[in-house]
Amino acid sequence: MFDEGTKIAVFGIVLAAWVFGLSADKTAPRPDLATAVDQALLPAVPLTAASDGAPAQSRLSGRQVALGDGFQAKLLASYVLEGRVVTRREFRNDATSAVSPLDLGIVWGDLAAPGGTDGLAFRTGHRSIWFSNSPEADLPKRWKEQVTNNHLVPANRQVNDALMAIGIGERVRLRGYLVTVTGNGTLPWRSSTRRDDGSIVGGCEIILVTDVQVLPADAGAA
């Protein structure tokens, strides 16, 4: 157990490291995007999400895809996500920013409908999303499963530019694959493949994105 003085010192160190990380993300030069995937060699992906707005997901056999710069991706499932962007954060200097320079927090289903996130607040952590609800919020059952944080691996420069142009509040459709990323001395970075495993830490989707669409603002619930 820590005494009070030690607790304060440890808290100070953790806080300083967190602040430094935020500053570094904003100021360090972004490395050149490493990914340049030949999409013609990839399996087919569904065109849209499910009829109830849930992401469309189909299991794959684990094909390995070279991303570039020593990184590889193991394809876990084809994946289509439609929803509204609630958080956005760029990365420039973490271990995987050369292939995943952007996180988008996206809500789908009932939460993506107009007014669906009234009473909810969202913010980003490092490769994570944090959310809270007011006691008065009228939310659907199991609403937390409709909140996703997505580590995005653009398949090429064109996809990267389209992702980087997306802003908070926009409705989007992302098509691609849930993946495990390895290489460049990093531990395996594995996507969640479930919606009920939590979205704050450990429940994020890692998506190799092959197609990006910005949907009309008045489109039906994603």
pLDDT at residue 15 tops 50 = no
- Could you give the residue ranges of the DSSP H alpha helices within 85-218? 157-164
What mean pLDDT do residues 161-183 have? 96
pLDDT at residue 132 tops 50 = yes
pLDDT in tens, 182-217: 997 888 999 999 988 875 556 799 999 999 999 998
What mean pLDDT do residues 17-21 have? 42
pLDDT in tens, 25-52: 444 444 567 678 888 889 999 999 998 8
Inter-residue contact 64 to 74 (CB < 8 Å): yes
Distance CA 78, CA 63 (A): 11
pLDDT at 170: 97
Distance CA 107, CA 145 (A): 9
